[in-house]
A and B are shown apart, each in its own frame.
Chain A
């Protein structure tokens, strides 16, 4: 079995042993569209992360019998085209739940606790030079008793909800798909979520229902003391509107792990914010713990094994 991974660099350095054990594994760090066409010529299994799987690519791979997404989102794969050619497509779900929940709280607590400000106050010597502690005080907000509003109560949203409850936060949620209902947490309309949340955190996938869900109008409905965290997909939030809202004090701050265009363009509005200190960023690594990466590679291998055993 020949397995080709067209953009393996997206998983970074680390072992691909689980895939190497299954057959002839060829991992390309990255591939241009042209390189992709020639590289899939004799592969049985194709693994991609962001590389676009188009009808043209499928036509260039006569032996191709399985497409594996190296992740959960399959926006880069023309699934219909694969189905028409009788080629199954498999993704890996749930490998990053714990890590994304952890990164979500890293952002929430950094925003509420103004972590960089205080860290700098010490490292710069400002604290040392202060006569009284309060010279370096900025208000920091206690999480206990505050309301966490979740958009997207899937596996990740639920884990975030459970941690929030352990910190005595009130959890409310909005289901964009209209499918996630649970008695465990209070379901509300989007308007109510915007109005009541002290922290609004997005864990939804990109879909027609979530694209552009949060724009200037929605941000205006939020509390001026509220923070927004987007761990879902960049396009769910209007990025220019968000910068204007945070810079203008319409909301207090935001943390973003996902962007409409990745990597973030140098001239993006996020890079022009007047108040960068009110923002926290991670470069789409909310998922990126060593443990999650290992589970992802093992998940891809498990998909390949399951498919080949089913033949």
Chain B
């Protein structure tokens, strides 16, 4: 079995041994479209993360029997074209839930607790020079009793909800699928969620219902003291509107792990804000703990071992 991984660099230095054991594994750090077409000629199994799999690429891979997405999202794969050719597409779900939940709270607590300000106050010597045993110049918000509004109550959203509950937060959610299947927390309409939340956290996929869901008009419905966290997909929030909203004090701050164009362009509004201290970023790495990457590789191997 010949297995080709077109953009293996996306999993970092995680060992691919579980996959290599199954056949002949050829890895490329990354592949431009023309390179990709040359590289799939005789492969049985194709593994991709961001590389586009379209009809052109499929036509260049006559021996192809299985496509494995090295992630959950399959936006890079023309699934219909694969179906027409009878090639199954298998993704990996659930491998990064705990990591994404943890990173969500890393951002939430950093925003609420003003972590960089306080860390800087000590490391710069400002605390030392203050003469006061404590720095009370920046009172921060206690999350116990505050409302967390979750947009997208899937596996990740539900885990975020249960950790939030342990912190004593009140949880409400807006169902982006429209099904409102989770009965543990109140399912509300979007306007209610925006009005009542002290923290809005997005854990939805990008689709027709969620594309551009939050623009300036929606951000204005939030409390000026509220924070927005986007762990879903960049396109769910209008990025220019969000940059302006935070700079102008429409909301208090935002944390993002995902962007419409990745990597974030140098001239993007997020890199031009007047108040960078009101933002927290991770470069789409919330999924990428060492443990999650090992699980990802193990499940890709399982997907291949299943056969076709």
Chain A residues in the interface with B (C-beta under 8 A): 9-14, 30, 50, 98-99, 101-103, 105-106, 109-110, 112-113, 115-116, 118-119, 121-123, 125, 127-134, 136-137, 139-145, 162-163, 165-168, 262-266, 268, 270-271, 276, 279-285, 288-293
**In the complex, are the beta carbons of B271 and A283 less than 8 A apart?**
no
B273 to chain A, nearest CB (A): 9
A70 to chain B, nearest CB (A): 11
**In the complex, are the beta carbons of A290 and B118 less than 8 A apart?**
no
Residues of A near B306 (CB, < 8 A) are none
Also in contact, A281 and B283, with CB within 8 A (given A102-B142, A123-B276, A142-B292): no
List 7 A-B pairs, minimum CB-CB distance, nearest first: A12-B136, A166-B166, A281-B122, A122-B281, A262-B133, A289-B142, A109-B106
**In the complex, are the beta carbons of B263 and A127 less than 8 A apart?**
yes
User: What per-residue 1/0 map shows which CB atoms of B161-175 lie under 8 Å from chain A?
Assistant: 011011110000000
Select one of A9, A141, A166, A290 contacting B132, CB under 8 A: A9
Closest A residue to B29 using CB positions: A132
B55 to chain A, nearest CB (A): 26
16 further interface pairs, Cβ-Cβ under 8 Å (given A102-B142, A141-B289, A282-B122): A11-B136, A30-B131, A106-B110, A106-B113, A110-B106, A128-B264, A134-B9, A136-B285, A137-B285, A139-B289, A142-B291, A163-B163, A167-B105, A263-B129, A271-B125, A289-B140
User: What per-residue 1/0 map shows which CB atoms of B113-152 lie under 8 Å from chain A?
Assistant: 1011011011101011111111111111111110000000
CA of A200 to CA of B204, assembled, Å = 34
A161 to chain B, nearest CB (A): 10
Select one of A140, A291, A292 contacting B285, CB under 8 A: A140
CA of A143 to CA of B289, assembled, Å = 9
Chain B residues in the interface with A (C-beta under 8 A): 7, 9-13, 29-30, 98-99, 101-103, 105-107, 109-110, 112-113, 115-116, 118-119, 121-123, 125, 127-145, 162-163, 165-168, 262-266, 268, 270-271, 276, 279-285, 288-292
CA of A141 to CA of B289, assembled, Å = 5
**In the complex, are the beta carbons of B134 and A262 less than 8 A apart?**
yes
**In the complex, are the beta carbons of A140 and B281 less than 8 A apart?**
no
**In the complex, are the beta carbons of A10 and B133 less than 8 A apart?**
yes
Select one of B102, B270, B279, B283 contacting A136, CB under 8 A: B283
Residues of B near A284 (CB, < 8 A) are 133-135
**In the complex, are the beta carbons of A288 and B263 less than 8 A apart?**
no
Also in contact, A292 and B163, with CB within 8 A (given A127-B264, A280-B115): no
Closest A residue to B145 using CB positions: A291
CA of A162 to CA of B123, assembled, Å = 31
Closest B residue to A102 using CB positions: B143
Residues of B near A122 (CB, < 8 A) are 264, 270-271, 281-283
**In the complex, are the beta carbons of A289 and B290 less than 8 A apart?**
no
Residues of B near A293 (CB, < 8 A) are 136, 139
Closest A residue to B130 using CB positions: A263
Select one of A30, A118, A167 contacting B101, CB under 8 A: A167
**In the complex, are the beta carbons of B12 and A137 less than 8 A apart?**
yes
**In the complex, are the beta carbons of A50 and B133 less than 8 A apart?**
yes
Select one of A9, A141, A266 contacting B129, CB under 8 A: A266
A113 to chain B, nearest CB (A): 4
**In the complex, are the beta carbons of A290 and B291 less than 8 A apart?**
no
Residues of A near B163 (CB, < 8 A) are 163, 166-167
Select one of A98, A115, A118, A140 contacting B115, CB under 8 A: A115
CA of A293 to CA of B139, assembled, Å = 9
**In the complex, are the beta carbons of B142 and A290 less than 8 A apart?**
yes
CA of A86 to CA of B4, assembled, Å = 83
B284 to chain A, nearest CB (A): 6
CA of A285 to CA of B283, assembled, Å = 29
Residues of A near B131 (CB, < 8 A) are 30, 263
A60 to chain B, nearest CB (A): 24
**In the complex, are the beta carbons of B128 and A265 less than 8 A apart?**
yes
**In the complex, are the beta carbons of A116 and B133 less than 8 A apart?**
no
**In the complex, are the beta carbons of B102 and A167 less than 8 A apart?**
yes
Also in contact, A283 and B118, with CB within 8 A (given A12-B136, A143-B98, A144-B98): yes
Also in contact, A110 and B290, with CB within 8 A (given A128-B263, A128-B264, A132-B29): no
CA of A122 to CA of B262, assembled, Å = 11
**In the complex, are the beta carbons of A118 and B133 less than 8 A apart?**
no
**In the complex, are the beta carbons of B30 and A132 less than 8 A apart?**
yes
**In the complex, are the beta carbons of A102 and B263 less than 8 A apart?**
no
Also in contact, A142 and B290, with CB within 8 A (given A123-B271, A134-B12, A162-B166): yes
**In the complex, are the beta carbons of A134 and B144 less than 8 A apart?**
no
Residues of A near B136 (CB, < 8 A) are 9-13, 285, 288, 293
CA of A130 to CA of B264, assembled, Å = 10
**In the complex, are the beta carbons of A115 and B133 less than 8 A apart?**
no
A170 to chain B, nearest CB (A): 14
CA of A141 to CA of B291, assembled, Å = 7
Residues of A near B130 (CB, < 8 A) are 263, 283
Select one of B102, B110, B283, B290 contacting A144, CB under 8 A: B102
Residue with the highest number of chain A CB atoms closer than 10 Å, among B270, B282, B284: B282
Closest A residue to B280 using CB positions: A119
CA of A116 to CA of B116, assembled, Å = 8
CA of A237 to CA of B82, assembled, Å = 60
Residues of A near B162 (CB, < 8 A) are 166
Residues of B near A281 (CB, < 8 A) are 118-119, 121-123, 127
Select one of B113, B127, B166 contacting A103, CB under 8 A: B113
